[in-house]
Each structure stands twice: as C-alpha cells, then as structure tokens.
C-alpha cells in the first residue's frame, strides 16, 4: 500500500502528530494524516482550497452516473471554485511518500489513514503543475462559481465523495 501526504511546504523531515482543524470520531487525538494512492487526486490543489471530490463505485446508480459524470464513466471528479483557480495554477506542491506501517485506516471511502506516531517520509517530490497531475491521474477537473449546491447534491447521491476545506468556500 502506498500512502502520501501532500503539502505546500518543502523540506518536511518529520511529520509530527497534530490535532485536526475538523475533529471527528475517526481522529480523536493528534495524528499524522495520509491518503492512499487512489484518493491522491483529492489533494493535488493547495491545502486550503475548498473542493468537492467524488467518484462512482459499484453501488452508484446509473441515474447518478448520468447526472454527475459527464460521460457516465469518469473515474474521479475534483470540483474547485473559480476564485481558487489562479492559486491552483500557480501552486507548487510537494508529494511525500510515507511508510505505511504505523497507519490505520480512518475512512475507507475518503482513503484517509492516520498515525498517532511521528512519521519520517520515505521520499519527497515536487509537483510542478498540480492541476496537470490531477488530470494525468485520470481525474476530471471542474471549476465552478460556488461549491455549496454541488456538495449538497453529491451528499444525497449514491457516489463516494469528500467535501474538503468547505469552511473556505464562497458563501
């Protein structure tokens, strides 16, 4: 299993556990966050960028595929707000590969893993063009005026989804 942490900060030598800004039962204390390779596309934007991400699973209805996936077949969609587009274009991110041994799955649908121990990355790679990388991974990028309506619709659908940093979304 490959686990990653995406950051806008270069040169991280050790990831120390810290309290999440969005506490939940899945992360009761200070943890190091990681994401699996399948869900990596959800993080190829600046950290504070609000986004709605979703993909079809075997449980997704044909109606939801037609409604939310342009061709009915898209594997993964990452929607951002237009007000964040320039920051996303100009962003440079670092992709840290983390050793999986101390991590436990916190949310399978979102691909979240947590460790209560400090973690030394195996490697770090600069991602020069995160939005290009996002599409290279086969994700569809959607740029929208506001994310709230999409988030509400996706949450009622049969899609697997994550709504990330929505506290930063336009109202």
- For the stretch 26-66, pLDDT in tens is 556 899 999 999 899 999 999 999 999 999 999 999 999 98
13-32 tens-digit pLDDT: 999 999 877 666 655 689 99
Question: pLDDT grade, residue 74 (50/70/90)?
Answer: low
Copy the structure tokens of residue 42: 């959800």
pLDDT recorded at residue 155: 96
Q: Rounded to the nearest 10 degrees, how much is the dihedral formed by the CA atoms of 132, 159, 3, 26?
A: 130
3-state secondary structure of 54: strand
pLDDT recorded at residue 54: 95
**Residue of 96, 137, 98 whose CA lies nearest to 114:** 98
Q: Rounded to the nearest 10 degrees, how much is the dihedral formed by the CA atoms of 82, 9, 120, 3?
A: 10
pLDDT recorded at residue 27: 57
The fraction of the chain above a pLDDT of 90, given in percent, is: 77
Residue that has been written with the tokens 């996706």 in this structure: 154
Q: Rounded to the nearest 10 degrees, how much is the dihedral formed by the CA atoms of 130, 136, 139, 143?
A: 50
Say how far apart CA 80 and CA 143 lie, in whole Å: 5
Give the CA count within 13 Å in the CB-facing half-sphere of 65.
12
Q: Report pTM.
A: 0.89
Note the maximum CA span of the chain: 46
Say how far apart CA 97 and CA 65 lie, in whole Å: 32
Tell me the pairing of strands 76-81 and 139-144: parallel
Say how far apart CA 65 and CA 75 lie, in whole Å: 10
pLDDT recorded at residue 23: 64
Sheet holding 76-81, edge to edge: 139-144, 76-81, 51-55, 160-164
């Amino acid at each position: 299993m490959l686990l990653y942490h995406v950051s806008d900060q270069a040169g991280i030598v050790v990831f120390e556990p810290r309290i999440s800004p969005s506490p939940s039962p899945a992360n009761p204390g200070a943890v190091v966050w990681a994401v699996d390779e399948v869900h990596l596309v959800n993080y190829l934007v600046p950290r504070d960028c609000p986004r709605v991400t979703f993909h079809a699973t075997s449980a997704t209805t044909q109606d939801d595929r037609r409604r939310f996936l342009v061709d009915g077949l898209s594997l993964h969609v990452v929607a951002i707000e237009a007000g964040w587009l320039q920051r996303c274009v100009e962003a440079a991110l670092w992709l840290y590969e983390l050793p999986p041994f101390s991590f436990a799955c916190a949310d399978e649908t979102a691909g979240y893993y947590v460790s209560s121990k400090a973690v030394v990355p195996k490697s770090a790679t600069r991602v020069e063009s995160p939005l290009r990388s996002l599409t290279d991974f086969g994700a569809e990028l959607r740029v929208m005026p506001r994310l709230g309506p999409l988030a509400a619709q996706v949450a009622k659908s049969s899609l697997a989804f994550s709504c990330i940093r929505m506290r930063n979304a336009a109202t």
